[in-house]
Amino acid sequence: MNSIPANRRGLSLAALLPALLLLAGASAIRAQQRPPAVPLIAHDPYFSIWSAADHLTDKNTTHWTGKRQPISGIARIDGKPYRFMGEDPSEVPAMEQVSLKVTPTHTTYEFQAAGVKLAATFFTPALPKDLDVLSRPVTYLTLTANSESAHDISVLIDVDPIIAVNSEDQPVTWGRSKAGNLTVLNVGSRDQHVLGRPGDDLRIDWGYFHLAVPDNESMPNKDGVPPVPRPWGPGIQLVASHTALQSFIKSGTLPSSDDMDMPLMPRDDAAHLAVMLPFGSVTGPVSRHVLLAYTEGQSIEYLGRKLRPYWQRNGQSVQDMLAQAESEYASLDKRGTRFDQDLTADLEKAGGPAYAQLAILAYRQTLAAHGFAADVDGTPLLFPKENFSNGCISTVDVLYPSGPFFLFFNPTLLQAQLKPVLEYAALPRWKWPFAPHDLGTYPLANGQVYGGGERTEDDQMPVEESGNLLILVAAMEKELGSSDFAREYWPQFTKWAEYLREKGLDPSNQLSTDDFAGHLAHNANLSIKAIEGLAAYADMARGLGKSDVAAEYGKLAHDMANRWEPMAKDGDHYKLAFDSPGTWSQKYNLVWDQILDFNLFPARIRQTEMAFYLKHINRFGLPLDNRKDYTKLDWSIWTATLADNPADWNAIVEPIGRWVNEGPSRVPLTDWYETKTGPEVGFQARSVVGGIYIKALADKSLAEKWRNRKEP
């Protein structure tokens, strides 16, 4: 077809302006990338270290809770020290940070000073289908120096021992080990309170942190010949010493002996773990790497059973795990790079640059909010922590929003989250006719603690959690092509479906996941969840060959959906609560009607809602409902996924992209923030941001591609 000039088609500059502005905004987002906080090490709720600053040298690194866990980096170039990681010691000048790139499994900073370029890359091989690698608590830190003319370079990595305790007043001990061709420095709490401190704003105080350094390194070869391992030679130094950092700054060397005066508290000059990496005279790129790991022996207590980390389910020792991680470094980095490239490209195609940036920032955070354990028979079990909320473990209304991430990448991981909850719900001790809210307080999954717990119905979330579990199980079994869970837990699902049948269409005064403003009766969005939950139950019945049950509950869900519309209609939109005209809310639960092909609600409902939402978008996004200006990040993406066209999708997502790069709160991605001014209201580092992947999951061809993707 021949192209026709725009002015010949009747398109004015004014008509083209919105599209041009959209392209300009997308380009700005692509170029800008200023995350609220940058993931460096992200494995589980305890081993999770971030940089909450524009530059890696602006602040010391912290645990996701914001408590100090400094890892310092100093480069000596021709005898002069420069900082590239951490704000201390402030008298040492910082290298100029020239770029930052965050991909799903890598975070790379690039610096320059004195004619030398230095790249620092944190790589966590969080490959969702390789459970052995995914559960391995190792992050690789690779340092690459490059110069056009010869410069003598060495680098220090220094780790504060507070990384192994909850607070500075807890004594630590340290030492060194060998693991294959690795020399390993270790630090841990003297008292080892194994699984002894449940709660929210806490760090681990059992197990050991490991700084592992290979005895040789693959050196570059300028002739194109594959690199071969060569010994470091003289110059490499590892030491456990509280004077390592100052010694390197002053002399370029480390103390010759480890500190032996222990235990000591981190605040009382306890030994830091330090390694000096010699690069020698550099012309062209030269790389070195170290391994940063944390092992704890027992990670979760579930119904009284103390569970090992999944990587240790067959009794693998820490030494063997570290040695294996080192032997697989090059191949894993290649796999991770390919994974990053493929996923980033597909995310941009699915939702544009702003969406891709959001989803990439959510990737490691989603996984790192979980403890990955093995049951006594080796079955994988995944336990989310409700970070900066109440510290609950396996909260069902956390499983629900994060579900799209696991449905998209590997439904087996969702199965590993649902199994502990469903096993608990099947016990006689859970006597309520609705689903539980949680399994306890992290890391103790010994029974519900929220609301009335096992004691009373007070402050329970019956419609919310029952609908959540029915929808999640149906979605998971659709992806897996299996009815195993429906068969095993059918009595529980039947009980919950009967509850929703009676209570779901017009919910009573009760809590829901959007309970920030308190209890709410007649919640229209919660009603949608109940209706979709009943359709999910019918779907499971169909998979089990229970045709009569499937027909009965399928018809029930359709009838309830037909009744919902006149109850909720309020002129040009649908109400927050059936008895409250003049109110509105995001109807994000409608998204399952499309994804699971239930088709209960006519298209006009989501189209009417979308047209209304477009009139209420603030600078940083669409409010959750009419009561406040705050929103939920996960639900906003679900709501945007209801859009029938890219323009409406972008209208909701682009302000969120602006918020990510301009918002004032420098914390791991929060899911609850103000839409006018941008600050965090509450919550951070939670797994619920996995809900961002709902857009990718809704793209059926893309979801099928990633469901069937083979790891290289």
- pLDDT tens for 302-351 read 999 999 999 999 999 999 999 999 999 999 999 999 999 999 999 999 99
Q: What is the mean pLDDT of residues 535-545?
A: 98
**Is the dihedral angle over the CA atoms 634, 638, 640, 645 positive or is it negative?**
positive
The DSSP bridge pattern shows strands 62-63 and 48-51 to be antiparallel
* Banded pLDDT at 217 (limits 50, 70, 90): low
pLDDT value at residue 30: 43
Among all chains, which residue has been given the structure tokens 């790079």? 337
State percent of the chain over pLDDT 90.
89
- pLDDT tens for 443-468 read 999 999 999 999 999 889 999 999 99
Q: Which residue(s) pair with 108 in the sheet?
A: 101, 121
The highest-level CATH class for domain 39-296 is: mainly beta
pLDDT value at residue 235: 61
**Cα distance between residue 250 and residue 240, in whole Å:** 18
**CATH level 3 topology of 352-707:** Glycosyltransferase (1.50.10)
**Cα distance between residue 53 and residue 51, in whole Å:** 6
**Cα distance between residue 690 and residue 686, in whole Å:** 9
Q: Is the pLDDT of residue 7 over 50?
A: no
Q: Is 674 helix (H, G, I), strand (E, B) or coil?
A: strand
Task: Give which of 321, 319, 205 is closest to 263, Cα–Cα.
Answer: 205
Q: Is the pLDDT of residue 535 over 50?
A: yes
Q: Is the pLDDT of residue 227 over 60?
A: no
- pLDDT tens for 602-639 read 999 999 999 999 999 999 999 999 999 999 999 999 99
pLDDT value at residue 396: 98
Q: Is residue 89 reached through a cis peptide bond, with omega within 30 degrees of 0 on the bond before it? A: yes
Residue type, 604: R
* Banded pLDDT at 168 (limits 50, 70, 90): very high
- In angstroms, how far is CA 444 from the centroid of its own chain? 21
Q: What is the mean pLDDT of residues 247-273?
A: 95
Tokens of 358: 């959001």
pLDDT value at residue 3: 31
- pLDDT tens for 456-503 read 998 899 999 999 999 999 999 999 999 999 999 999 999 999 999 999
Domain ranges (residues) in the chain: 39-296, 352-707
Q: Is 318 helix (H, G, I), strand (E, B) or coil?
A: helix
**Cα distance between residue 659 and residue 670, in whole Å:** 11
Q: Is the pLDDT of residue 6 over 50?
A: no
pLDDT value at residue 572: 97
**Cα distance between residue 674 and residue 619, in whole Å:** 10
- pLDDT tens for 103-158 read 999 999 999 999 999 999 999 999 999 999 999 999 999 999 999 999 999 999 99
- pLDDT tens for 630-654 read 999 999 999 999 999 999 999 999 9
Tokens of 384: 């989310």
SS (H, E, C) 489-501: CHHHHHHHHHHHH
Beta carbons within 10 angstroms of residue 391's beta carbon: 21
Cβ proximity of 78 and 109 under 8 Å? no
**Is the dihedral angle over the CA atoms 584, 585, 589, 593 positive or is it negative?**
positive
* Banded pLDDT at 277 (limits 50, 70, 90): very high
* Number of helical (H) and strand (E) elements in the chain, helices listed first: 19, 28
Residue 156 parent element (H or E): strand 151-159
Mean pLDDT score of the chain: 92
Residue 300 parent element (H or E): strand 300-302
Q: What is the DSSP letter of 577?
A: B
Task: Give which of 123, 319, 284, 288 is closest to 216, Cα–Cα.
Answer: 288
- pLDDT tens for 428-437 read 999 999 999 9
- pLDDT tens for 660-703 read 999 999 999 999 999 999 999 999 999 999 999 999 999 999 99
